[in-house]
Structure 1
């Protein structure tokens, strides 16, 4: 291989490294939440401290290695990453899963540090990191959000072996050109720190396909295409940023990142799709913009910065997601807006280096026009690709027919050991033969839980349409599947009280028999109630909804994780209007050793309860609750 071609070997090695890293991240974060967090028994502050302690290991090691960060850090980092990833495939949840993911996470950081110190071009290396991250997001979407680590069988192992073998081979080839004694290196250290905020914006706002599904309800094939298109824009703009020049790329990128972030936060609107494209384009321009060479920067500083961007990712991610459990002194979304401002500020800083010379160049106006036109056109195409999937056509049941309802808090799709369990959840729910399914803790794309889209996965199993009700944010809340036609839908926020997380009630009216309608209130009350001023007002709000529906003459079912036991005041608010469909207390939490019943199905007097069950399973940290109901004839009422 010629000396001219050799520097290019760092790009595939870095891209594959970043791809495996993002794959590991989607396991490490849920492991931290569900294994270390232990179903909420560990405080968010303690979990954040543990996460930061692990993330700081890589920059600390690179700082200690100093000039040897390339020679020693590169092989050690790659070995830890690949070894940890293999161990992950063998693990079956629990502490081993968290340990394996942590080893791989630290290994990736050390390897990034070696790249930052020794890569011939820091700009190319960072574009390669971006390529790996978006490549992982595309593969994640193409796999239906069920990554290889959650799959068993020869196909999953074969794909993993090919991926890791390619990573090791690319890393071996890159060894020949990494290091100051082989190829002159240049470039500042600070752009590497920038990759932390960049990965947060991608991981939270553009990578989760659930955000796009929430906004559009497009079919899977179009969602995959849209994710590929949006992230393809990021790579195209990153590669072409140097052609635009630092001034144009930096200023345009800053504007696109700010506008794209603000628009992407509104996940429930179609404009969010266009905003995601704008955000991806802006990120690409800023990452790809050439920063001034700074040969005087030491290898140690570049190694620490490159190894530290996962640490920056963890700190920002903790601040954002902690806002769901801790009452922060500022709005939770402010974290992402400040993050986008940091990235935009970096773009402006890059632009100022050559701003005046760029203005004197004759082609500047054309470059600005080209960037603006391409961005607007791409966003317009994304917004115009509105698909109209063929909706399922439910039909009412026969008079006197049993109505089967299943309630399940699915724990964001993870079992108590931190393993993704959507297949097992699907088996459990399908086995109850339900007509109506109420799900709590539905997470459609949080980075901390692996960015999955559970509703599409479960819809394939149940073959029923669903309604999603946001609660904590646009992609986290409650859902209802129904084989009956839905005639009315409304979503109401519940009193927040002292809970940092917003709660909601989803009111769905269904035609269960010809010309006979039933209302379902699906909800999930707060687990925070230190002084009785949070959950009780929420229960009273639901009781008010119940009373209004009864005034309309509509039979009502209330289903949800109420975080209250049968004799608690919250249940008493419903008085004699709604009674439990489970005659005797049946504990539903925790699933491995049930002690308390906090999940409830309540019905009004128009229903007869002809059966109930509490299936025993560890697919979630809660047990499901099922009931068989018969709606009395109007003459009996």
Structure 2
């Protein structure tokens, strides 16, 4: 059975659409998980998984993910969320922490490969971007996650510049980048990702994402190269499961 399921998945992904139909849209969720701790102080990965599943995503880009840390019960959170959501996953370590590791993850209903961890400059908490290749129904695409510094605008800008160059250099494939930029829309950091070939996807409705209970700051974004957003990014009205609200963006192939 373990051998049959991957083969069946690959066959289904390769099946052509019916006449007159284009490829299905690509649904991407991004969420800072706060190591699974909600605004109520409780750690509950099942609650987080239920929110993710409610959005029916193809890809999920996660920040602040613990891997066997004492504070989160020594759970491999990426693996557990993959099990609960029945998605595949990769995890990228930013640093060793509390007896385990702390970093970012990507969940996907598509096969993932070629994980890269891009280390970003600056003192303080180590910051990274991660990227992996997904064999999507659009063909191969690059999925990337980002979590930038929050305390020093100059350091944050330098991290954004390094991340942009590194991610654009991974491949020429269509690229979806999302995460916690810790920067506002009018910041110099967002200017980095507002220049071609990047496009920052605008939001519709309430745009603030943090703190989750009563959002005041818009600091989580989706950025794209080589794909077209079907509609603006939406902030999910989830106020408890983490200290950020998740965002959802839907993409199609460019016409």
Which range, TM-score by smaller chain?
Answer: 0.7 to 0.9
Deviation (angstroms), 1:459: 1.7
Taking the aligned partners of 1:476 and 1:390, their CA distance within structure 2 comes to: 31
Task: Tell whether the 8 Å contact from 2:222 to 2:233 is kept in structure 1 after alignment.
Answer: no
Match of 2:78 among 455, 458, 470: 455
- Of structures 1 and 2, the larger Rg is shown by 1
Deviation (angstroms), 1:447: 1.6
Residue 225 of structure 2 is matched in structure 1 by 604
Residue 68 of structure 2 is matched in structure 1 by 445
Match of 1:578 among 181, 198, 201: 198
Task: Tell whether the 8 Å contact from 1:498 to 1:528 is kept in structure 2 after alignment.
Answer: no
Residue 498 of structure 1 is matched in structure 2 by 123
Deviation (angstroms), 1:422: 1.3
SS of alignment partner, residue 35 of structure 2: helix
Taking the aligned partners of 1:524 and 1:560, their CA distance within structure 2 comes to: 6
Which consecutive residues of structure 1, in runs of 5 or more, have no partner in the other structure? Answer: 1-388
- Structure 1 segments of 4+ aligned residues over 6 angstroms from their partners: 389-392
Taking the aligned partners of 1:592 and 1:441, their CA distance within structure 2 comes to: 18
Deviation (angstroms), 1:390: 6.5
Residue 136 of structure 2 is matched in structure 1 by 512
SS of alignment partner, residue 545 of structure 1: helix
Higher helix fraction (1 or 2): 1
TM-score by length of 2: 0.85
Structure-to-structure mapping, 1:190-589, within 5 angstroms: 393=6, 394-395=9-10, 396=13, 400-473=23-96, 475-495=101-121, 497-499=122-124, 501-513=125-137, 516-529=139-152, 532-549=153-170, 552-574=171-193, 575-584=195-204, 586-589=207-210
SS of alignment partner, residue 154 of structure 2: coil
TM-score by length of 1: 0.36
- The CA deviation string for residues 445-481 of structure 1, in whole angstroms up to 9 with x for no partner, is 2223332332232122211110000002262100001
Closer, same or farther in 2 for the Cα pair 1:445/1:486, shift >3 Å? closer
Residue 619 of structure 1 is matched in structure 2 by 241
SS of alignment partner, residue 533 of structure 1: helix
Task: Tell whether the 8 Å contact from 1:392 to 1:464 is kept in structure 2 after alignment.
Answer: no
Task: Tell whether the 8 Å contact from 1:445 to 1:453 is kept in structure 2 after alignment.
Answer: yes
Taking the aligned partners of 2:231 and 2:5, their CA distance within structure 1 comes to: 29
Taking the aligned partners of 1:420 and 1:482, their CA distance within structure 2 comes to: 23
Task: Tell whether the 8 Å contact from 2:116 to 2:130 is kept in structure 1 after alignment.
Answer: yes
Residue 19 of structure 2 is matched in structure 1 by none
Q: C-alpha root-mean-square deviation of aligned residues, in Å?
A: 2.2
Residue 243 of structure 1 is matched in structure 2 by none
Which consecutive residues of structure 2, in runs of 5 or more, have no partner in the other structure? Answer: 17-21
Closer, same or farther in 2 for the Cα pair 1:556/1:449, shift >3 Å? same
Taking the aligned partners of 1:466 and 1:534, their CA distance within structure 2 comes to: 30
Higher strand fraction (1 or 2): 2
Deviation (angstroms), 1:545: 2.2
Closer, same or farther in 2 for the Cα pair 1:448/1:485, shift >3 Å? closer
